[in-house]
């Protein structure tokens, strides 16, 4: 029995030693796009961390979605929120992937990390449109490297030597980053919008050891908008537009009966087709915004800059969706024109010789005219349907908060008017 007891103690000691060798990394993405991308890379991170960060430990990666990370417009407390989540789960390090734009000292921030707290934050929209999975994977590896090994010059130099020794292994893993001071490897996007590594010196930011910001302000903003539009999933607008497409196609098909469209399509020059197309799409985007209340008033938001970005994102998201809608309409009308409009009848109607270009020209004109009708037809859809199709998680959350603030403002205004009328009635001697 004593021998059995000794073996059990030795096995327990070995198990405890193994547990101490395990480093736990937590990924805390915001819902929807950050959550999906984090889920794709979580399984492979354990092996990558062991191979390229520290092979003396086994790594365990856990992914927990948290809608509260950066839920408010102010991102100053994200580090504190992340540190609390890390402590609650018993992780050694945590990397939060927020869908909010981060601004520090009026500079667009892609990521920041605290070595002492073991906390890092990545702004998913600031990474751009694609390849998001590879960028995010490299950014997480680098931030964990900074937190695990240190961020000062000497530690970065030692890590650079380590990277040089494992260059071939990193290439086999598909990791482009070969610089211990860069957030990710350089692709076309990073060449157009360079990333700058800085060490905050502000005494109010002692908890942040390293920060990565966009070195090109306006190009960085353009990249940010691309990431925000992708988070809104503009392609999801099309299923919600089924009735709108039906109304638009029916209107355009009815218009094709009359010879006016035929003659106009033969008489128009290229620039007229382009102007009419742009005007029709702009009219539809404007109508959608106004009719369904998609524009966010500045007075109901906590940050004018973020409100501007989100409003511009709404316009770009709708523009992308309407462009896809326009292409579908054009394809439908082109098929209808080719099938149902005889070439000799078209030539007789327009009074001039025609070629194969006259058919797509007629379909193009019909699509532009029908798009205006489709804008009016979008009123058939409910506000909730259009918002769900247009907005990703973050903007839906913002819209709900804006509506709540508007309702509270209107209620307060109504109560004030009632109180004012009551005071007037009390002061009136005739009452």
pLDDT, residue 281, reads 93
Length of the chain, please?
Answer: 431
Tokens representing residue 374 in the block = 């489709």
| Residue 162, CA distances (Å) to 40, 157, 181, 222, 255 in order | 27, 9, 13, 35, 70
Adjacent-strand bridge partners of 167: none
Torsion angles phi and psi, residue 104, rounded to 5: -130, 125
pLDDT, residue 406, reads 60
pTM over 0.75: yes
pLDDT, residue 13, reads 40
DSSP states along 34-97: HHHHHHHHHHHHHHHHHHHT-TTSEEEEEE---TTTT-SS--TTHHHHHHHHHHHHT-SEEEEE
pLDDT, residue 10, reads 44
Cα three-residue angle 215-309-278, rounded to 5 degrees: 110
**Which residue intervals of 256-357 are DSSP H helices?**
259-267, 270-291, 304-340, 343-350
pLDDT, residue 5, reads 43
Ordered per-residue pLDDT tens for the chain, 431 residues: 334 444 444 444 433 444 458 999 999 998 888 899 999 999 899 999 988 888 888 999 999 988 766 555 555 577 888 888 999 999 999 999 988 888 888 899 999 999 989 999 999 999 988 788 999 999 999 999 999 998 888 888 888 887 887 778 887 888 888 888 899 888 888 889 999 999 887 655 667 889 999 999 999 999 999 998 988 888 877 777 777 888 888 888 888 888 888 888 888 899 999 999 999 999 989 988 888 888 887 776 667 888 888 889 989 999 998 999 899 999 999 999 988 888 888 888 888 887 888 899 999 999 998 988 777 776 666 677 777 767 766 666 666 666 666 666 666 767 766 776 666 666 665 55
DSSP 8-state code for residue 391: -
Q: Cα 29 to chain center, whole Å?
A: 13
Tokens representing residue 274 in the block = 């382009």
CA distance 301 to 178: 41
* Best CA proximity match to 363, nearest among 381, 385, 382, 340: 340
CA distance 26 to 338: 58
Structure-token match 């859809």, residue found: 381
pLDDT, residue 259, reads 84
Q: What is the 3-state secondary structure (H, E, C) of 206-250?
A: CCCCEEEEECCHHHHHHHHHHHHHHHCCHHHHHHHCHHHHHHHHH
């Amino acid at each position: 029995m004593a021998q059995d007891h000794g073996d059990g103690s030795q096995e327990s000691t070995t198990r405890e030693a193994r547990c101490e060798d395990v480093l736990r990394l937590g990924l805390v993405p915001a819902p929807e796009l950050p959550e999906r991308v984090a889920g794709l890379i979580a399984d492979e991170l354990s092996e990558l961390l062991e191979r390229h960060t520290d092979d003396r430990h086994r790594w365990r990666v856990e992914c927990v979605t948290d809608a509260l990370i950066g839920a408010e417009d102010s991102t100053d407390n994200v580090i504190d929120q992340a540190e609390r989540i890390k402590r609650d789960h018993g992780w050694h390090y945590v990397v939060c992937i927020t869908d909010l734009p981060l601004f520090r000292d009026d500079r667009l921030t892609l990521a920041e990390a605290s070595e002492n707290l073991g906390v890092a934050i990545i702004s998913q929209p600031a990474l751009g449109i694609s390849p998001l999975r590879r960028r995010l994977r490299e950014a997480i590896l680098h931030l964990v490297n900074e937190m695990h090994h240190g961020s000062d010059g000497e530690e970065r130099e030692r890590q650079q030597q380590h990277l040089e020794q494992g260059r071939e292994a990193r290439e086999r893993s598909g990791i482009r980053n070969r610089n211990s001071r860069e957030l990710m490897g350089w692709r076309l996007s990073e060449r157009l919008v360079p990333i700058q590594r800085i060490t905050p010196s502000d005494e109010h930011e002692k908890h942040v050891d390293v920060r990565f910001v966009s070195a090109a302000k306006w190009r960085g903003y353009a990249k940010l908008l691309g990431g925000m539009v992708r988070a809104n999933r503009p392609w999801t607008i099309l299923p919600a537009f089924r009735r709108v497409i039906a109304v638009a196609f029916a209107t355009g098909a009815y218009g094709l009966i009359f010879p006016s469209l035929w003659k106009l399509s033969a008489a128009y020059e290229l620039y007229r087709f382009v102007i009419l197309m742009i005007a029709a799409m702009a009219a539809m985007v404007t109508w959608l915004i106004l009719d369904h209340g998609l524009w966010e008033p500045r007075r109901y938001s906590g940050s004018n800059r973020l409100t501007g970005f989100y409003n511009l994102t709404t316009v770009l998201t709708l523009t992308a969706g309407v462009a896809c809608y326009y292409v579908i309409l054009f394809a439908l009308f082109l098929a209808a024109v080719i099938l149902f409009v005889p070439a000799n009848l078209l030539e007789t109607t327009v009074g001039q010789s025609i070629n194969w270009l006259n058919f797509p020209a007629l379909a193009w004109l019909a699509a532009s005219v029908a798009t205006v009708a489709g804008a009016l037809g979008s009123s058939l859809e409910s506000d909730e349907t259009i918002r769900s199709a247009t907005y990703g998680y973050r903007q839906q959350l913002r819209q709900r908060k804006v509506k709540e603030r508007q309702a509270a403002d209107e209620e307060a205004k109504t109560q004030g008017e009632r109180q004012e009328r009551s005071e007037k009635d009390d002061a009136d001697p005739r009452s």
